[in-house]
Structure formats: C-alpha cells, structure tokens
A and B are shown apart, each in its own frame.
Chain A
Amino acid sequence: SAVISQKPSRDICQRGTSLTIQCQVDSQVTMMFWYRQQPGQSLTLIATANQGSEATYESGFVIDKFPISRPNLTFSTLTVSNMSPEDSSIYLCSVGQGKGETQYFGPGTRLLVL
C-alpha cells in the first residue's frame, strides 16, 4: 500500500483563522479522500478529490468552508476556513485503489480550535 504523510500532525488554532492540511503520497493515485473524525465518533467523508476535476463535497460540507486542492497525483490540501471550536477534530486523508473501495489512511491531523 502507498505511504501517506500529513502535515501538520497537530495544531492549536484560534477561532476565525484558517488552517491548511497537506497530504502527500509516495506514489501516484487517482482517488484521494478527506475525512473528519470528531472525538469518539466514526469517520465522516468531507469530499472526494480526484486529480483533474473539482472536488466533490458530501452533504453538509461546502467548498467555502473546506476548500480542497489537488494539483497532481501525489498531493492534496484541505483548508479549514474561519474555524470555530466545532471544527476541533481529526482530519484524515486517504487514497483509494481499484474503484476507490480499498482505502488507506494517512496518520491524520489533530486540530483544536480555541
């Protein structure tokens, strides 16, 4: 499976600011996904980021709040904009193989918004 890294691994931010999370993969992948995992909860898909097309957002997530870039086949960023304490969560990127069903996760970014 691909080796996936994320930066930063954790951050503490002030409300109203924005944070950009980077996801780097050691091989070219078509499908990348961004998830959120709130404390004690399961994973919720934010958006699918396929290279060469606009990100596809899930219900409840909008581009203005979570803009995503996918400039090439090994890299993606997720920005959490105008943060509030409710955005405190773990943000995970994953890469998909096959039709996207087999997914491998990066180590995650732990975000705390004060």
Chain B
Amino acid sequence: QKEVEQNSGPLSVPEGAIASLNCTYSDRGSQSFFWYRQYSGKSPELIMSIYSNGDKEDGRFTAQLNKASQYVSLLIRDSQPSDSATYLCAAFYGGATNKLIFGTGTLLAVQP
C-alpha cells in the first residue's frame, strides 16, 4: 500500500520564524514529490515540486528530499500570518499506478 504520512498538527509558529513541515512516504518507487497549500474553503495550490535528493529553494520556501530515508520536508522562512493554511504533501507513482498519493495535510498556524 502506497502511503504518504504527515503530522496533522496544528503546527504553531510565531511570525518571522521558520516553519518546518515533514512528510514520509512508504514506497521507494516514487520519484516526484509535491507540496500543496490549501487555504480553508479553497482548492489546493501547488507551491513546490522536488525530484532529486537535496534542497530546492523558491523564495521563502525550501523543499528537501532524502530518498534514502523516504523523507520530504518543506521549510518556510520568515513565516507570515498569510502562510496559515493546510500543507499537503504528495508523491507521484508512475507506471501501472500512475497517480498522486496525498498525505492528510499539516495545519500551519502563524501567530502574529
């Protein structure tokens, strides 16, 4: 069973701090990983993708991938109250599976 696991939170951080969101996946067959942000009452919005081991930075966001540990993380620097949302981690499995598997999401609350 291909699974993606996240801590549901809520993760509470003060404004300006670094928020660290974590995700593990069960099957080594996945090669592509994604972070989505979902505001309450809205649909998921793709914010980061990562395919290779290491770090990938985009503005205040850094995605980290460690395939040996089957671990993906998202760091948000200088957190803002507008970053308060649920963050969904997803892993793509190709071949016969050919679908995105989503975690249950982590609720982030940035306190002003």
Given contact pairs A48-B99, A101-B32, A101-B94, a sample of 4 additional A-B residue pairs in the complex whose CB atoms are under 8 Å apart: A33-B99, A102-B34, A103-B100, A106-B43
Contacts of B32 in A (CB 8 A): 101-102
| Complex: A44 Cα to B49 Cα, angstroms | 20
Q: Which of A58, A102, A105 touches B49 (beta carbons < 8 Å)?
A: A102
1/0 per residue, CB under 8 A from B, across A70-111: the answer is 000000000000000000001010000001111111111000
The tally of residues in A whose CB lies under 8 Å from a CB in B reads 20
**Residue A55, interface by CB 8 Å:** no
Q: Which residue of chain B is the closest to A90 with respect to CB atoms?
A: B43
Contacts of A99 in B (CB 8 A): 92, 94, 98
Report whether B94 and A103 are in contact in the complex, using a CB–CB cutoff of 8 Å.
Answer: no
Summed over the interface, the residue pairs from A and B with CB atoms below 8 Å come to a total of 47
Q: Which of B42, B46, B104, B105 touches A103 (beta carbons < 8 Å)?
A: B46
**Residue A53, interface by CB 8 Å:** no
Q: Which of B25-71 contact A (CB under 8 A)?
A: 32, 34, 36, 42-46, 49
Report whether B49 and A45 are in contact in the complex, using a CB–CB cutoff of 8 Å.
Answer: no
| Complex: A85 Cα to B46 Cα, angstroms | 30
Closest Cβ of chain A to B33, distance in Å, is 9
| Complex: A35 Cα to B92 Cα, angstroms | 15
**Residue A43, interface by CB 8 Å:** yes
| Complex: A92 Cα to B88 Cα, angstroms | 15
| Complex: A92 Cα to B45 Cα, angstroms | 12
